[in-house]
């Protein structure tokens, strides 16, 4: 706990406000400003009022360009996801400030979601005065206990003299190593206490500090480098398996250079989408449960798998024993030592920052020469023969065709957020992404209601970019109050709602595994008129498409609209996300559906395609 730690000084220039008497709440705001915070997402309440008052005073004393913008959502979960969306899009630490009790407990889901996807965020929660803690005071909740199971670290500030250093340390912890959310629970009387502002100092955590220094200084040994290139030299079918760690560590540029320099193709996880340009010849797109068939076939065929910033989770390696069956070697680069050998045994590993490690390998491998053209050609043939497809003859609008048309408009340049469900997987499959941090989605937690507030956070991070929330009727209901937040702040966020009148992904599982018993997933009897709801919230562009002939033109108008826009497209309620690797199954059991080509027997495949040992 913070009260057991000693403050340590950070060498550098003396802060211009050092020595000034301040209220604790004013110290909080000053440290946030020092950390580069320009936007706060949050909802006020009694226990956090001193800090909200400090925000007002801070901004009142400064010109507009120096103020910290306060964004007030419909509820605290929305605030948390906005901060997460801001962080995911920008790479900065997102900040959320809420009150005690229900305000703090409403923030648990975005905190856990950010922890699961390694998103740096600082959540400041108000708490009842220290003397009232443990008395079941009004709006009291044991946030330290609750959040400890969900966050990277939690502070309960009981010593007012440690407040300033605690805020600063929270940012350091949130962004260092494997990023994650840090929660600071601050009693009201600590916010009101008047003390001397130091302008510097972090809390001291000996083990954490030692590990941090080790991570920041650890380099590849000569033996490790030699072993890596020995394995790569002996490989004829190497494949990069890139995860969200690439994006979190800003290593996309290094990964692309590594892939292009050595001619090694790459698959990505859902969270790794954008780390490699999806239109690149070396991109095999997403692997796993709903990955492309050709990505999964690439994993089956490779003989050397290079995992970077990825963790072999169950949506990728559902059947660990059958995962990548032809690999002779697996390498793993990850900032988190706990992930290495956790699920899959590896033959080569390095526990360090992905970007730095890739640059070291590039430098060390300057003279390495091996031609993998035949392997890349093989994968291009797989791409051609086993490409994504869907029912193009249906009378009903197919959700895939909506996103295919959207992709023709955005051309890989938009920031896309999603809710969770079928629409999430279709967006991952059918939309291109040229850059990292342009696909924002709840991966590990799979939190419905994520898409809209995340899009709002991303739009605040990038006011001039096209930001589109691709959502589902079930998912958007979870945080539908945030539709008004978009118009309140005049944000040009675009909401594309694929309405299939139900919880599509759950219904898909019920179709395939529960004999079509649609328990709790049918929303055809619900009365929500989303277009009227959007108009009521002030959307000047609010339309519904039910006829295919209107789709293309309406999508163009929707994306080009100058301001908030809402478009609902009624889609086939029984469209399935394909391919699909069932839970606990291997890639050999992948189902591709009726509109894609499954890999056949050697006699039905072109020469050299079925049997990778042919080259």
pLDDT confidence tier of residue 11, bands split at 50, 70 and 90: low
Residues 518 and 423 in one domain: yes
Both 262 and 275 in one domain: the answer is yes
E strand or H helix that includes residue 154: strand 153-156
Phi-psi region of 374 (alpha: psi -120 to 50; beta: other; left: phi over 0): alpha
Confidence of residue 217 (pLDDT cuts 50, 70, 90): confident
76 is a catalytic site residue: yes
Residue 111 CA to residue 94 CA, distance in Å, equals 11
- What pLDDT was estimated at residue 612? 59
- Asked if residue 393 belongs to a domain, the reply is no
**CATH assignment at residue 377:** 3.40.50.1220
139 is catalytic: yes
Question: Out of 92, 188, 383, 494, which one is annotated catalytic?
Answer: 188
Convert the pLDDT of each residue in 566-585 to its tens digit: 999 999 999 999 999 999 99
In a domain, 92, yes or no: yes
- State the pLDDT confidence band at 604, using cuts at 50, 70 and 90: very low
The reply to whether 509 and 407 lie within a common domain is yes
Quote the pLDDT of residue 524.
81
Residue at 485 is within a domain = yes
Output the pLDDT for position 236.
Answer: 97
Task: Please state whether 467 falls in left (phi above 0), alpha (psi between -120 and 50) or beta.
Answer: beta
Q: Tens digits of per-residue pLDDT, 434-483? A: 999 999 999 999 999 999 999 999 999 999 999 999 999 999 999 999 99
Q: Is the pLDDT of residue 211 over 80?
A: yes
Are 198 and 69 found together in one domain?
yes
For residues 260 and 329, state if they share a domain: yes
Q: 452 lies in a domain?
A: yes
The pLDDT > 90 percentage for the chain reads: 91
Return the pLDDT at 18.
95
pLDDT of residue 522: 85
d(C-alpha 293, C-alpha 381), whole Å:
12
DSSP code string of 207-269: HHHHHHHHHHH----HHHHHHHHHHHHT-SSEEEEE-HHHHHTT-HHHHHHHHHHHT--EEE-
Residue from 67, 139, 192, 380 carrying the catalytic annotation: 139
**What pLDDT does residue 3 have?**
38
Asked if residue 416 and residue 321 are part of one domain, the reply reads no
Q: Which of 530, 549, 570 is the last residue of a domain?
A: 570
pLDDT tens-digit readout, 513-562: 999 999 999 888 788 999 999 999 999 999 999 999 999 999 999 999 99
- State residue 230's pLDDT score: 97
pLDDT tens-place string over residues 294-307: 999 999 999 999 99
Residue 564, SS3?
coil
Alpha-carbon distance of 222 to 107, in angstroms, equals 46
pLDDT at 210: 85
Predicted pLDDT at 214: 84
Token pair in block for residue 287:
């692997």
Q: Which of 355, 385, 415 is the last residue of a domain?
A: 385
pLDDT band at 2 (very low <50, low <70, confident <90, very high): very low
How confident is the model at residue 207, as a pLDDT? 84
- The CATH number of the domain where 96 resides is what? 3.40.50.970
Among residues 215, 242, 263, the one where a domain terminates is 215
pLDDT recorded at residue 393 = 95
- What phi and psi, each to the nearest 5 degrees, are found at residue 155? -115, 140
Q: How confident is the model at residue 51 (pLDDT cuts 50, 70, 90)?
A: very high
Task: Indicate the pTM of the whole model.
Answer: 0.95
Q: Sorting pLDDT into bands at 50, 70 and 90, what band is 138?
A: very high
If you average pLDDT over residues 181-187, what whole number do you get? 98
Rounded Cα distance between 110 and 84, Å, is: 8
Band of pLDDT at residue 97, cut at 50, 70 and 90 = very high
Q: Looking at the domain assignment, is residue 394 inside a domain?
A: no
User: For 439-451, how does the pLDDT look when each residue is reduced to its tens digit (9 = 90+)?
Assistant: 999 999 999 999 9
From 284, 505, 590, 596, the catalytic residue? 505
pLDDT of residue 7: 52
Can you give the pLDDT at residue 605? 52
The per-residue pLDDT for 378 is 97
pLDDT band at 212 (very low <50, low <70, confident <90, very high): confident
Q: How many domains does the chain have?
A: 3
For residue 610, what pLDDT is reported? Answer: 52
Count how many Cα atoms sit within 13 Å of the Cα of residue 60 in the half-sphere of its side chain: 7
314: Cα separation from own chain's centroid: 17
The pLDDT of residue 525 is 75
Residue 331 lies in a domain: yes
Say whether both 362 and 473 belong to one domain.
no
Question: Mean per-residue pLDDT for 281-287?
Answer: 98
In this structure, the answer to whether residues 493 and 561 fall within a common structural domain is yes
pLDDT higher than threshold 70 for residue 609: no
Average pLDDT over residues 8-20: 78
**Residue 283 pLDDT grade (very low, low, confident, very high; cuts 50, 70, 90):** very high
Give the distance, in angstroms, between the CA of residue 33 and the centroid of all CA atoms in the same chain.
25
pLDDT, position 603: 38
Quickly state the pLDDT bin for 397 (edges 50, 70, 90).
Answer: very high
In angstroms, the CA 198 to CA 560 distance is: 49
Q: In the prediction, which pLDDT does 172 show? A: 96
pLDDT at residue 593 above 80? yes
Domain shared by 310 and 407, yes or no = no
Mean pLDDT of the 332-346 span: 95
Active site residue 138: yes
* pLDDT at site 405: 98
Q: Could you say which of 35, 76, 140, 401 is catalytic?
A: 76
Same domain, 104 and 231: no
Statement: residue 120 has pLDDT above 70: yes
Has residue 88 got a pLDDT over 80?
Answer: yes
Q: Are residues 98 and 153 in the same domain?
A: yes
Tell me if residue 534 falls in helix, strand or coil: helix
Annotated catalytic residue, options 6, 10, 138, 257: 138
3-class secondary-structure state, position 151? coil
Q: What per-residue confidence (pLDDT) applies to 1?
A: 36
- The answer to the question of residue 472 being in a domain is yes
Considering the domain architecture, whether residues 317 and 426 belong to the same structural domain is answered as: no
Exposure string of 472-481, with b = 16+ CB inside 10 Å and e = fewer, is: bbbbbbbbbb
Give the mean model confidence (pLDDT) for residues 312-333: 95
**Residue ranges making up the domain that contains 378:** 219-385
């Amino acid at each position: 706990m913070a009260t057991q730690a000693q403050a340590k000084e950070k060498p550098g220039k003396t802060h211009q406000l050092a020595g000034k008497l301040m209220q604790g709440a004013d110290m909080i705001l000053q440290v946030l400003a020092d950390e580069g915070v320009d936007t706060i997402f949050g909802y006020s309440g009694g226990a956090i009022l001193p800090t909200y008052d400090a925000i007002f005073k801070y901004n009142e004393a400064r010109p507009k360009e120096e103020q910290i913008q306060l964004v007030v959502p419909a509820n605290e979960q929305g605030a948390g996801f906005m901060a997460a969306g801001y962080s995911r899009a920008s790479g900065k630490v997102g900040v959320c400030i809420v009150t005690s009790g229900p305000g703090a407990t409403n923030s648990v889901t975005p905190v856990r979601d950010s922890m699961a996807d390694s998103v740096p965020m600082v959540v400041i929660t108000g708490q009842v005065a220290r003397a009232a803690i443990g008395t079941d005071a009004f709006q009291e909740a044991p946030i330290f206990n609750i959040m400890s199971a969900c966050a990277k670290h939690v502070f309960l500030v009981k010593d007012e003299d440690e407040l300033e250093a605690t805020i600063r340390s929270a940012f350091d912890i949130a962004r260092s190593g494997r990023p994650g959310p840090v929660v600071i629970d601050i009693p009201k009387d600590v916010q009101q206490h008047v003390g001397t502002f130091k302008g510097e100092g972090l809390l001291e955590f000996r083990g954490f500090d030692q590990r941090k220094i080790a991570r920041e200084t650890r380099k590849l040994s000569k033996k490790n480098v030699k072993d890596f290139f020995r394995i790569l030299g002996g490989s004829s079918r190497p494949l990069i398996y890139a995860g969200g760690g690439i994006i979190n560590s800003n290593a996309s540029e290094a990964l692309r250079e590594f892939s292009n320099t050595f001619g090694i193709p790459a698959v990505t996880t859902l969270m790794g989408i954008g780390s490699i340009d999806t239109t690149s010849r070396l991109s095999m797109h997403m692997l796993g449960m709903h990955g492309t068939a050709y990505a999964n076939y690439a994993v089956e065929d490779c003989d050397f798998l290079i995992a970077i910033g990825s963790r072999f989770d169950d949506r990728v390696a559902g059947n660990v024993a059958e995962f990548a069956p032809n690999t002779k070697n697996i390498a793993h680069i990850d900032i988190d030592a706990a992930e290495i050998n956790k699920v899959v045994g590896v033959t080569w590993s390095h526990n360090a920052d992905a970007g730095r490690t890739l640059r070291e390998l590039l430098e060390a491998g300057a003279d390495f020469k091996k031609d993998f053209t035949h392997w890349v050609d093989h994968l291009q043939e797989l791409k051609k023969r086993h490409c994504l497809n869907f029912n193009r003859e249906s009378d009903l609008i197919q959700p895939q065709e909506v996103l295919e048309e959207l992709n023709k408009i955005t051309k890989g340049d938009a920031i896309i957020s999603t809710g969770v469900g079928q629409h999430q997987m279709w967006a991952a499959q059918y939309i291109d992404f040229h850059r990292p941090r342009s696909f924002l989605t709840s991966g590990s937690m799979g939190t419905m209601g994520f898409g809209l507030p995340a899009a709002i956070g991303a739009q605040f991070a990038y006011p001039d970019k096209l930001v589109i929330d691709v959502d589902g009727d079930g998912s958007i209901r979870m945080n539908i109050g945030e539709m008004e937040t978009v118009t309140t702040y005049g944000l040009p966020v675009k909401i594309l709602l694929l309405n299939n009148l139900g919880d599509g992904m759950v219904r898909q599982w019920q179709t395939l595994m529960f004999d079509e018993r649609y328990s709790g997933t049918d929303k055809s009897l619900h009365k929500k008129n989303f277009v009227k709801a959007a108009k009521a919230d002030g959307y000047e562009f609010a339309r519904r498409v039910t006829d295919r002939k209107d789709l293309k033109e309406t999508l163009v108008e929707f994306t080009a609209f100058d301001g908030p826009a809402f478009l609902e497209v009624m889609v086939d309620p029984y469209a399935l996300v394909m391919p699909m690797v069932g839970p606990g199954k291997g890639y050999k059991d992948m189902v591709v559906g009726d509109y894609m080509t499954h890999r056949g027997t050697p006699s039905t495949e072109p020469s050299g395609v079925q049997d990778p040992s042919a080259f």
